[in-house]
Amino acid sequence: MEEMEGDIEIPGLHDACLELAHVVLASGQPQVSRDILETLAARFEREAADFALLVANAGRDTALLARAVHYLVDAHALPLMGTDMEWFRQALACLVELAVPGIALSANGAAFLHDVETGIAQALQDLE
């Protein structure tokens, strides 16, 4: 069953958050307690679910939140980050803003979007 924020379903979010919890808790131990993993995953899930209404109201697929968490697993999550949530909150907020713009940008701020566009094209080309 997927985690819900009100009535908003977020497909894949639980599994993505469980994977993230596993990565950040890895500390050379072969096994981290399932209870600890589930507890941290639930915290990540609650944080991500806070963005569900914004995403849904923009007419976007809420599964983008799970995809954003998977992106964080690949690009930003490091073993031994532990249970600190601030990095996750800030990184996810930035990713959601890029995917679902909600702020009018100045010309200077918007210029960075071209850099992001170039980086995205490069990353997608690397997948081919």
> What is the structure's pLDDT at 7?
65
Which residue's entry shows tokens 């490069």? 122
For the entire predicted model, the pTM comes to: 0.88
The pLDDT value recorded for residue 57 is 95
The DSSP code sequence of 56-82 is HHTT--TTHHHHHHHHHHHHT--TT-T
Give the pLDDT score at 84: 83
The pLDDT of residue 26 is 80
Find the helix or strand (DSSP H, E) in which 123 lies: helix 107-127
pLDDT, tens digit only, all 128 positions of the chain: 344 445 689 999 999 999 999 999 886 566 778 898 999 999 999 999 999 999 999 999 999 999 999 999 999 888 878 788 999 999 999 999 999 999 899 999 999 999 999 999 999 999 88
**According to the model, what pLDDT value does residue 1 have?**
37
The DSSP symbol for 106 reads P
